[in-house]
Structure 1
């Protein structure tokens, strides 16, 4: 089925890292308050109250400093995460010995509540530390809590074990979720950043050198200029020595190759192949450089659609092929292009409706899906062919 053009989607504002940190800190504070209420409820069953109180004081101090550091209100050493983990270990030891031999003495506890709350403390580091470090610390915390509750519980009844299971979940779920959220956020930011960089190609020349080729051209130009300056100043005699002549020939060859490539590699080629997200899966089949003839709005629509079809920041297509050919019915000034997108590993139900709005800005399109390939055929009209 063919579709007609629709209005372009409205871009959403980028999320804030500071807001993400604030949200995680707020959730951690709620968990800390909940665990503290459990501690107050169990206080009459605690045999070594000074140890438990010391554990809570250390925990509150560390989490408060961590949040102040996150909000940039205080400056702490770069090794703060290491010191925080040591402090959390001390909290765990003090809290466990504070309720030793009393765990499970009744269905409500007492349980090592400060140790449970250290999971929330670890979650606060999710935006500043590597996920692996936090998950390893979380795993160690979970293992120690399981060992403490299993070895010191008074009964083995499933009903009595339920609060212990909940306490372990309270300890390990918050940092695990925080790491997952931050990782998803980073994937999304990388995806959007790469897309923004790629969109910069839609307003430039239809065919030109890419970023890497441009940097290489600058280096070659500098080498050629130095060689010519040496000859002009007499530092390099004429005729050129064999070694310098070979160097000059290599520079000239590379310059010609870059200039030829600049005439055949279009904006679409550079936008996809130089992308850190889609570069490894993309194949561009446009031998005549016809994509250079697309108008800026058509380029933007095509590039936006390709990115929305191929990935969402979390998952990326297994393969992406873009073919551009002159339409068989094209003639005169009203030239038409046939653009074919083939994507493997993209379920059609997962595609954002805005992707179809974006592709409609390029031209009339039709789509078909035959597992595992999604194919989109676009009939694109060109009124003016851009210089390539």
Structure 2
């Protein structure tokens, strides 16, 4: 009966959670809200229907306060709170627009719907919990409505007097768009670094081993085989085996053999790249003899770090990555050498971090060439001690 040796537990580094961004976004939203409120105080004498605008501000402040309490986990909000918040923001927009509607045309410099402007900051608070598409659509709708309102209600004497209206639209639309961009960048960075940390766990394990998915499947097959043997030994399953159970046993044996044979050619490098959520879909490993297993731990770490730094930075990832490992033509005896070639498509050489070249130098002597759109790195790697596979 086959038993799978446990894979070394990946060394997962501590990575910050995207939730931590909510504190900064809430602070920025409060600053924008405070700025808009000051605009409202400055224009309060020009507001046509003051109760409507005051009602808009009250609703906005209540929604923002509840949202921030929910973000800080001091209050349990409904699961569909974002829907309620958008409805409330729409009410704020309507009340505020009608509150200043009759007066906007008299003065190109104001008053403007300040509470409606501040709803953009309210939308920004949801950047860490809601989909970017929903927030961008809401911000776009807000901007369009404010532009329409300003175009049809203001009558400036010169084109330059449109500037305050343009600024008011920018104040409304910019916070949610910037918040979405920051959160997306942060999520990409966290995913990239977390995936790299997990991949680095393979560098300290056996040179050739089963991957996580194959290991799980092998454990499941092993358990099925043990149950079948136990049933036979206890007499619950008679001998000779019935056709249905015999076919099941044959299937288990075939799958066990296939997994074990596959595991003999899949090296740490194969699992580090193909099981990566970032690079798995673009990676191709050409190492039929499993030569990457012979690399020392420091060489493995240098190669893996360099590949990740060459292939992406969390924001952009290469279109394709091919790693070829062959025995060097002059290799013989104890001083074996490997020829490792990295080919990346879609990676501008100017964008590569200098630390990537330092990492690849830990593997061996290297040379690079770039012919649009392919970056090629050739590494001559010496193996003084062949790792136990």
TM value normalised by structure 1? 0.94
**Separation in structure 1 between the aligned mates of residue 263 and residue 388 of structure 2, nearest angstrom:** 12
- Equivalent residues in 2 for 1:69-80 (5 A)? 69-80=70-81
Confirm or deny that 1:333 pairs with 2:334: yes
Q: Equivalent residue of 1:283, what SS?
A: strand
Contact 1:319 1:343 in 2 (8 A): yes
1:206 match: 207
**Separation in structure 2 between the aligned mates of residue 167 and residue 304 of structure 1, nearest angstrom:** 47
1:235 match: 236
Offset at residue 99 of structure 1 (A): 0.2
1:101 match: 102
Structure number with the bigger relative contact order (C-alpha 8 A, sep ≥ 6) is 1
1:38 match: 39
Offset at residue 178 of structure 1 (A): 0.5
Q: Equivalent residue of 1:312, what SS?
A: coil
TM value normalised by structure 2? 0.93
Contact 2:108 2:154 in 1 (8 A): no
1:135 match: 136
Offset at residue 104 of structure 1 (A): 4.1
Q: Equivalent residue of 1:381, what SS?
A: strand
Q: Equivalent residue of 2:255, what SS?
A: helix
2:5 match: none
Q: Equivalent residue of 2:308, what SS?
A: helix
Offset at residue 218 of structure 1 (A): 0.8
Q: Equivalent residue of 2:382, what SS?
A: strand
**Separation in structure 2 between the aligned mates of residue 74 and residue 215 of structure 1, nearest angstrom:** 40
Offset at residue 107 of structure 1 (A): 2.9
1:65 match: 66
**Separation in structure 1 between the aligned mates of residue 295 and residue 366 of structure 2, nearest angstrom:** 16
Q: Equivalent residue of 1:264, what SS?
A: coil
Q: Equivalent residue of 2:103, what SS?
A: coil
Offset at residue 132 of structure 1 (A): 1.6
Offset at residue 14 of structure 1 (A): 3.9
**Separation in structure 1 between the aligned mates of residue 249 and residue 312 of structure 2, nearest angstrom:** 45
Cα distance change on mapping 1:250 and 1:47 into 2, 3 Å: same
Offset at residue 189 of structure 1 (A): 1.0
2:381 match: 380
- Equivalent residues in 2 for 1:284-295 (5 A)? 284-295=285-296
Offset at residue 157 of structure 1 (A): 3.8
Residue segments in structure 2 that go unaligned for 5+ positions in a row: 1-12
Offset at residue 268 of structure 1 (A): 0.3
Offset at residue 341 of structure 1 (A): 0.4
**Separation in structure 1 between the aligned mates of residue 344 and residue 256 of structure 2, nearest angstrom:** 35
Offset at residue 194 of structure 1 (A): 1.2
Cα distance change on mapping 1:127 and 1:327 into 2, 3 Å: same
Contact 1:283 1:322 in 2 (8 A): yes
Confirm or deny that 1:86 pairs with 2:119: no
1:8 match: none
Q: Equivalent residue of 1:100, what SS?
A: helix
Offset at residue 32 of structure 1 (A): 1.0
Offset at residue 328 of structure 1 (A): 1.4
Q: Equivalent residue of 1:325, what SS?
A: strand
Offset at residue 200 of structure 1 (A): 1.1
Contact 1:101 1:153 in 2 (8 A): no
2:8 match: none
Confirm or deny that 1:224 pairs with 2:225: yes
**Separation in structure 2 between the aligned mates of residue 61 and residue 255 of structure 1, nearest angstrom:** 61
1:153 match: 154
The alignment of Structure 1 onto Structure 2 pairs a total of residues equal to 378
2:181 match: 180
**Separation in structure 1 between the aligned mates of residue 64 and residue 348 of structure 2, nearest angstrom:** 43
Contact 1:104 1:110 in 2 (8 A): no
2:55 match: 54
1:7 match: none
**Separation in structure 2 between the aligned mates of residue 154 and residue 199 of structure 1, nearest angstrom:** 64
Confirm or deny that 1:122 pairs with 2:136: no
Offset at residue 18 of structure 1 (A): 4.4
Residue segments in structure 1 that go unaligned for 5+ positions in a row: 1-11
Offset at residue 13 of structure 1 (A): 7.3
1:274 match: 275
1:4 match: none
Contact 2:123 2:176 in 1 (8 A): yes
Aligned CA-pair RMSD: 1.7
**Separation in structure 2 between the aligned mates of residue 165 and residue 363 of structure 1, nearest angstrom:** 58
**Separation in structure 2 between the aligned mates of residue 146 and residue 320 of structure 1, nearest angstrom:** 46
**Separation in structure 1 between the aligned mates of residue 45 and residue 155 of structure 2, nearest angstrom:** 17
**Separation in structure 1 between the aligned mates of residue 108 and residue 296 of structure 2, nearest angstrom:** 71
Contact 1:305 1:359 in 2 (8 A): yes
Offset at residue 163 of structure 1 (A): 1.2
**Separation in structure 1 between the aligned mates of residue 96 and residue 182 of structure 2, nearest angstrom:** 29
**Separation in structure 1 between the aligned mates of residue 288 and residue 70 of structure 2, nearest angstrom:** 55
